[in-house]
Amino acid sequence: MRVGTGYDVHKLVPDRKLIIGGVEIEHTLGLLGHSDADVLLHAIMDAILGAAGLGDIGKHFPDTDERFKGISSLRLLQYTRDLITEKGYVVSNIDATIIAQRPKLRPYIEEMEKNVARTLRISEDQVNIKATTEEHLGFTGREEGISSQAVCLLENFYDASFMAASTERNCSGCSGCSRA
Ligand SMILES: [Zn+2]
């Protein structure tokens, strides 16, 4: 098993859509960035890449590359999944926090979790997303920006499939198994 962390910040500006976790959120301000500036997905991708020892999103999706201009970060997350699959890893679980004073994000959390789970081809209970404020303190509290933090645990693909097979199989009770 391998663990990785991710952190990201984007500035809040007028005339931009607010997209977090692949969900378009009703708000007067949006996040500024080269892609869709999805702060949550960027933190999650950095956590995944970090756990796999594959660097960070700046290395794989540079903001100088025209191919990534305005791109949905769900596409980048899909590409991140492909990168770790090539290295033989699967996501065991993700826990992430969005730090924003406004708007209220609770109504959107479930859809965000579904988007992340579907894109990574894992189940929804492997993705946990939380939202908090910083009590009007700092840049998030002043609504100048939104930040996000994430932790990801990866498993080796072969270990994960062995575990799945051994828990699904009905054990007849051999002497070499503690479940007998
Ligand atoms: Zn970002």
Sheet holding 89-99, edge to edge: 30-31, 2-13, 145-156, 89-99, 127-132
Cα 79 to middle of ligand 1, angstroms: 15
CATH number of the domain that 87 lies in? 3.30.1330.50
Rounded alpha-carbon distances, angstroms, from residue 62 to 10, 77, 78, 83: 15, 14, 16, 16
Q: How many domains, the chain?
A: 1
- 178 inside domain: no
- 176 inside domain: no
Strand (E) or helix (H) holding 160: helix 157-168
What is the residue range of 7's domain?
2-165
- 120 inside domain: yes
Cα 136 to middle of ligand 1, angstroms: 22
pLDDT digits (tens, 9 = 90+) for 53-68: 999 999 999 988 899 8
Rounded alpha-carbon distances, angstroms, from residue 93 to 113, 122, 163: 12, 9, 15
- 179 inside domain: no
Strand (E) or helix (H) holding 49: helix 39-52
- 131 inside domain: yes
Contact 12, 107 (CB under 8 A): no
Cα 144 to middle of ligand 1, angstroms: 15
87, two tokens:
């290295």
pLDDT digits (tens, 9 = 90+) for 126-140: 999 999 999 999 999
151, two tokens:
């932790």
The whole-number pLDDT of residue 172 equals: 58
Strands 145-156 and 2-13: antiparallel
- 92 inside domain: yes
Cα 10 to middle of ligand 1, angstroms: 6
Report CA torsion sign: 54, 57, 62, 67.
positive
The whole-number pLDDT of residue 162 equals: 73
10, two tokens:
């984007």
Could you tell me where the beta strands, DSSP code E, fall in 27-144?
30-31, 89-99, 127-132
Whole-prediction pTM? 0.89
The segments of the chain whose pLDDT lies below 70 read 167-180
Cα 45 to middle of ligand 1, angstroms: 10
The whole-number pLDDT of residue 180 equals: 40
Rounded alpha-carbon distances, angstroms, from residue 6 to 71, 151, 173: 20, 6, 43
- 33 inside domain: yes
Cα 66 to middle of ligand 1, angstroms: 16
- 171 inside domain: no
